[in-house]
Structures are given as C-alpha cells and as structure tokens.
Amino acid sequence: MKIGELAAQTGIAASTIRFYEKQGLLPKVPRNDGGYRVYDDTIKARLDCIRLGQKLGFSLQELPKLLSHDNNLDHALIMRRLTEKQQEITIMMQQLTVQTQQIAALRQHLQSVWDSGACVPPHEIAALLAKAGT
C-alpha cells in the first residue's frame, strides 16, 4: 500500500509517517517501479507500537531502543524501562498531589482574607505563591 492508504488505515498523517522514517522509528521500505514507497502490515503493527509507546509516556527518542527493526525485542530492557516509567509516573502523581493540596490551601487562605473584606498586598501574594511552589 502507498503512504496515503497507510495514513488512512492508521489515522496517522502521511507527514508523521515520513517523520518517523527519518527518525529511524520505521525500517526502510521498498519502492515500487514508480518510486513510491510500498508499505505492508508490519509497518502498521509498528505504528501501533509507536503510538502505544507514546501513550505510555515514552519519547520518540526512547522508542528506537525498545523497538528493533528485526522484531528481536530485548524483553529485559522493555521490562526495565516499563518499571522505570511506572516509577516516574508514580513520582509525578505524588508531586501533583502535593501541588493540588498547596493550591487548595492557598485558594482557601486567599478566599477567607478576601471574604473578610481585607486585601492582600501584591508582595504577600507573591510570597504565598512562592511558598506554595516549594
């Protein structure tokens, strides 16, 4: 199939497919007599793997290390990176929980001050925001 057909079947823009090729995420594909690249179902499967990897939080720079062109996957490497990615996400979730709590406390403080009719000077707001950021 040509790139337009592949794009239509996968929902991935032809320009993105070309970009993936240039980045080495896709293997070189043969060209037909007219000079067009000819894609097969293995490329569709690889695009699915790329899309899944991105959804799981892997960067395009990380994916070539996990996806071999000859389908000989390094299972130990994949499991290690999945474990690391899971740990990274857990840390991010903990950080986001702390930030959420800090924002809620700051909102509550500011609202109570403003509800009492008082005004918080800009330098105090800046100090409160700085404190919330730590």
pLDDT for the residue 115: 92
pLDDT for the residue 71: 61
pLDDT for the residue 133: 66
pTM of the model: 0.70
Radius of gyration of the chain (CA): 24
pLDDT for the residue 119: 86
pLDDT for the residue 17: 96
Residue by residue, pLDDT tens for the chain (134 residues) are 999 999 999 999 999 999 999 998 998 888 999 999 999 998 998 999 899 999 998 999 988 888 776 666 788 888 999 999 999 999 999 999 999 998 898 899 889 989 999 888 888 888 877 877 66
Structure token digits, residue 92 = 């991010």
pLDDT for the residue 123: 86
Structure token digits, residue 10 = 């996968």
Tell me the DSSP string of 16-52.
HHHHHHHTTSS----B-TTS-B---HHHHHHHHHHHH
